[in-house]
Structure 1
Amino acid sequence: MMEAYVTTDISSEGIATITFFHPSQNSLPSHILSLLAETITHTSTNPLTKIIILQSGGERTFCAGASFDELASIQTPEEGTHFFSGFANVINACRTSPILILGRVQGKAVGGGVGVAAATDYCFATQHASIRLSELLIGIGPFVVGPAIERKIGIAAFTELTLHPSNFYSASWAKEKGLFAEVYDDIPALDEGISNFAHQLIQYNPEALKALKKAFWEATEHWDSLLKQRAAMSGTLVLSSHTQKAIANFKK
């Protein structure tokens, strides 16, 4: 079985590709989420970086959310807050990066994976990239990733997605609502589309791109504290009897 990793490759033209991977359908434990957030921040401050492409390894699943095994092991509110802060830190790293981030979603995205896609500035996907917010099934909610997703698709679509936790919504639905900007038939077409767009962007004034990035995320400056509060909320809920019972049933 392959080991989990986060890697960065910066081309001679300044296109930085950050790739994360976990053998369990790209469901991410805390240490990988922490490394991913740090990598996004570090790569964003590298003077060689002009554009970032954020992607996952493998072909079938973009990100299945956070590690369920780690979720099931939470014993205290503090542990819960730390666990749910993982995706909060990744989202805030994307938000505060001065560099435009292109998302590459090759397959299904669940829970926190939808949040990562929403945290990119312009997201590409294949037709196989269906999405689901499954948190309500175990008695919590998509509180941490909610602000990023709602920012992209609006409160009505976010409500629909949240209140149907068993449903996968198609990539075309996600494009219609604004989560995905472009949807392709397969991975080769996806990669060609991202490459062409990235090479187009690096021809523009880098200062203009940085100013646009700041404008895109205007009025989100409070997210550092907001997402921490949301993580604490989830960290408390995960210890409720309802959620503990649901987690036990899932493990069975």
Structure 2
Amino acid sequence: MQPYVTLQIKNKVGYIEFFHPDHNAMPSANLKKLVQFIREAGSNKMVKVVVLKSGGDRTFCAGASFKELIAIDNEVKGTQFFSGFAQVINAMRECPKLIIARVQGKAVGGGVGLAAAADYCLATQYAAIKLSELSIGIGPFVIEPVVSRRIGKTAMSRLTLDAETFYTPEWAKEKGLYAEVFDSAEVLDEAIHEMAEKLCGYNSEALEQMKQVFWEGTDHWNELLLERSKISGKLVLSAFTKEKLKRFK
């Protein structure tokens, strides 16, 4: 199957779905489309709540596209690539509609960032998380603010330094990333449908005002995440990282 990002509106719920055959990794093209559809859903009067999900029944999101990482040969391209994740996080943060994340499988790197950037996140028992960036010489600089905001600096540092370990969905729920963990994708979908329908019945103005409250103190993130993108964009060119990335060719 070819990569895609789609937006479908059903009963006032905007369902944004992304897919990539490589474990739902995120190439620049998909990141740009995600930003486009998040903004589109946010401005559409027919949408009251947004659900962010990925295609397939396994990995939610494997993070950055290693094929693109390998191809980066200067700092400008590196910054541009990592700023793609920054733009998605900021689009989610600035979207006036509440966003529910559906995490049906493992989330790695930027995938953890997407889950943390949602206003409410539901997952299955298969949705383990890992921040593997340090193991290839980079670091989760771009997603750190949103992940730390969700689970705290202590848990974030543990995930970051223990870069080769998957942490269980139960651990992620305990730390506040997931609101609930379900036994299967089918039960997860029922819970998301119920939550979305319930929110759609609430006062839209109140929901929008609450979202602003949830994200207070993040107005500087457009600049902050761009600066973080520059750090990653430089590190991806290091001899250490280039050597580590050879195994993914």
Q: Name the TM-score class by shorter chain.
A: over 0.9
In 1, Cα distance between equivalents of 2:248 and 2:155 = 30
SS of match in other structure, 2:60: strand
Q: 2:177 aligns with which of 176, 179, 202?
A: 179
Residue 96 of structure 1: aligned partner: 94
- Give 3-state SS (helix, strand or coil) of 1:98's partner: coil
Quote the offset at 1:221 in angstroms. Answer: 0.4
Corresponding residue SS for 1:62 = coil
Helix, strand or coil for the counterpart of 1:3?
Answer: coil
Residue 248 of structure 2 corresponds to 251
Q: Which residue of 2 aligns with 1:111?
A: 109
| Amino acid across the alignment from 1:141 | G
Distance 1:175 1:49 in 2: 28
How far 1:246 sits from its partner (Å)?
1.6
Q: 1:7 is matched with which residue?
A: 6
Name which of structure 1's ranges 235-244 and 207-216 shifts more when overlaid on structure 2: 235-244
The list of structure 1 runs, each at least 4 consecutive aligned residues, that deviate by more than 3 angstroms after superposition, is none
The aligned amino acid for 1:183 is V
CA deviation after TM superposition for structure 1 residue 245, in Å:
1.7
SS in 2 for 1:24: coil
The amino acid of 2:3's aligned partner reads: A
Question: Does residue 20 of the first structure (1) align with residue 35 of the second (2)?
Answer: no
Query: Could you list the per-position Cα deviations for residues 101-160 of structure 1 after superposition, in whole angstroms to 9, with x for gaps in the alignment?
Result: 000000000000000000000000001000000000111100001111000000000000
**How many angstroms apart in 2 are the aligned matches of 1:35 and 1:53?**
15
User: Could you say which residue in structure 2 is the equivalent of 1:141?
Assistant: 139
Question: What TM-score, normalized to structure 2?
Answer: 0.99
1:227 aligns to 2:225 (yes or no): yes
* Aligned-partner Cα distance in 1 for 2:4–2:244: 30
Partner residue in 2 for 1:59: 57
1:152 is matched with: 150
Cα shift readout 1:200-238 (whole Å, capped 9, x = no counterpart) = 111111000000000000000000000000000100111
Runs of 5+ consecutive residues of structure 1 not aligned to the other structure: none
Deviation at 1:251, TM superposition (A): 2.8
- 1:201 match: 199
Deviations 1:59-79 (CA, angstroms, capped at 9, x unpaired): 000000011010001000000
Task: Look up the match of 1:80.
Answer: 78
Residue 36 of structure 1 corresponds to which residue in structure 2? 34
How big is each residue's C-alpha offset from its partner over 1:178-203, in whole Å with a ceiling of 9 and x where there is no partner? 00011100001000001111111111
Between the aligned partners of 1:144 and 1:43, the Cα distance in structure 2 is 24
Moved more, 127-136 or 195-204: 195-204
Where 2:224 maps in the other structure, the secondary structure is helix
* Match for residue 46 of structure 2 among 41, 45, 48: 48
| Whole-angstrom distance in 1 between the partners of 2:221 and 2:27 | 22
Q: TM-score, normalised by structure 1?
A: 0.97
Quote the Cα distance in structure 2 between the aligned partners of 1:185 and 1:3. 29
5+ residue gaps, structure 2:
none
Secondary structure in 2 aligned to 1:44?
A: helix
Specify the code of the residue in structure 2 equivalent to 1:244.
K
Tell me which moved more, 153-162 or 237-246: 237-246
